[in-house]
Structure 1
C-alpha cells in the first residue's frame, strides 16, 4: 500500500516538475523566435510562464529582452527540474 502510494507521488512530482519546465522552455522558444501572439498555444503558455518562473523572471536585467527571457526563465526551468528530482528522491528515501 505504501509503496504504491509512494510510486504515485514520485510519478506526480516528476510529471508536474517536467510540465512546468516544458512550459517555461516553450515560452523561451516563443520569445526568441517570432510567433503569432494571437495563437491560442502561445497565449496559453504565456499565461502560465510568469507564475511558474518562481519569481526569477526579473532576476537578471539584461540589455536584450530575448537574452533576459532565456537566462531568467531557463534558470527557473532548471530549478523546477532539480526540485522535482530532489523531492522525488526524498519520497523514495522515506518510503518504508
Structure 2
C-alpha cells in the first residue's frame, strides 16, 4: 500500500511539483525604518512637484485653447487665461512670431517647461534635506 496518498501534514506544499522544496527565507530589511521627518519631507517634495505640474498644465491648456481658437466668452477659458497670465513667469511676450496663436503656444509652452524644470529641481533639493 505504498501508493496510498498520505493526509497533508504541516509544512507540506499545496501544489505538487517535482522540484525540491526550498527553505523559507525571512523577509529582508532594506535599511532603517522611515522616520516621521522623512515622511514630511517626502510629502512636501511631492506637493511641490504636484503644484509645478498643475501650473504647467494650466499654461499648456491656455496655449492649446488659443491655438485651437476656443470661445473667449467661456468661463473655463477665462479661468485658465487668468491662471496662465499669473503663472507665465514673464515669458508671455518673449518671442513675437508672425502668427499670434503660435506666439502664444511658444511663449506659454516655454513657461510650462520652465515650471516643470523648477518643480523637479526644487523637489529633488527638498528630498535631499531628509537624512
Same fold (TM over 0.5): yes
Give unmatched runs, 5+ long, in structure 1: none
1:81 corresponds, among 116, 127, 130, to 116
Higher relative contact order (CA 8 A, sep 6+): 1
Give the drift of 1:35: 1.2
SS of 2:89's partner is coil
Point out where structure 2 has 5 or more consecutive residues left out of the alignment.
1-35
- Where do residues 35-54 of structure 1 align in structure 2 (5 Å cutoff)? 35-54=70-89
RMSD: 0.8
- Alpha-carbon distance, 1:36 to partner: 1.3
C-alpha displacement of 1:8? 1.3
Structural mapping, 1:1-96, within 5 Å: 1-96=36-131
**Secondary structure at the counterpart of residue 96 of structure 2:** coil
Name the TM-score, length of structure 1 as normaliser.
Answer: 0.95
Which one has a bigger Cα radius of gyration? 2
Moved over 4 A (4+): none
Cα separation, 1, equivalents of 2:102 and 2:114: 18
